[in-house]
């Protein structure tokens, strides 16, 4: 049986939730360790460019994790992304790799993202 458990929750809270859109990102252990240290997403050495790819739906984030991470399972962080960040993300949200809707958040915008929680995949 497969299940998902919430393993961490952030203290970030917004007073205007209508300005945020829910997105998801699969993270491997090095990125998860960094998130726990700084409580946010950031670009670090060996990351994919200056920003981060995010998935529009939770199941798409897990699918990318299974395909890209040889040590799957990892974690999916649940993100609240400001609507204006998504509006100027590149590429605009589109189906990527035949899996699902995703977009690339530029490094300069990563500080604007709120980490809501993280989920761990249990087999």
pLDDT at 79: 97
Question: What pTM, to 2 d.p., does this model score?
Answer: 0.80
Residues 104 and 50: their CA atoms lie apart, in Å, by 10
Residues 23 and 79: their CA atoms lie apart, in Å, by 5
pLDDT at 119: 93
CA distances, 5 to each of 57, 58, 74, 92 (Å): 17, 13, 12, 30
- Least reliable range by pLDDT among 6-10, 34-38, 71-75, 115-119: 6-10
Q: Is the pLDDT of residue 13 over 70?
A: no
pLDDT tens-digit map of 73-119 = 789 999 999 999 998 887 766 777 788 889 999 889 999 999 999 99
Q: Is the pLDDT of residue 10 over 60?
A: no
Percent of the chain at pLDDT exceeding 70:
77
In the structure encoding, which two tokens stand for residue 25, read together?
A: 């990102």
Residues 2 and 23: their CA atoms lie apart, in Å, by 22
Specify the CATH class of 3-122 in words: alpha beta
Per-domain boundaries in the chain: 3-122
CA distances, 33 to each of 12, 16, 37, 83, 91 (Å): 18, 29, 6, 27, 28
């Amino acid at each position: 049986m497969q299940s998902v458990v919430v393993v961490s929750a952030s203290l970030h809270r917004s007073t205007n939730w209508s300005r945020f859109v829910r997105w998801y990102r699969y993270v491997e252990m090095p990125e998860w360790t960094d998130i726990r240290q700084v409580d946010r997403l950031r670009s670090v050495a060996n990351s994919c460019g200056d920003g981060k790819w995010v998935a529009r739906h939770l199941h798409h984030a897990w699918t990318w994790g299974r395909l890209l991470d040889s040590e799957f399972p990892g974690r999916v962080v649940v993100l609240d992304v400001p609507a204006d960040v998504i509006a100027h993300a590149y590429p605009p949200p589109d189906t990527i790799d035949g899996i699902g809707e995703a977009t690339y958040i530029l490094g300069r915008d990563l500080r604007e993202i709120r980490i809501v929680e993280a989920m761990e995949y249990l087999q």
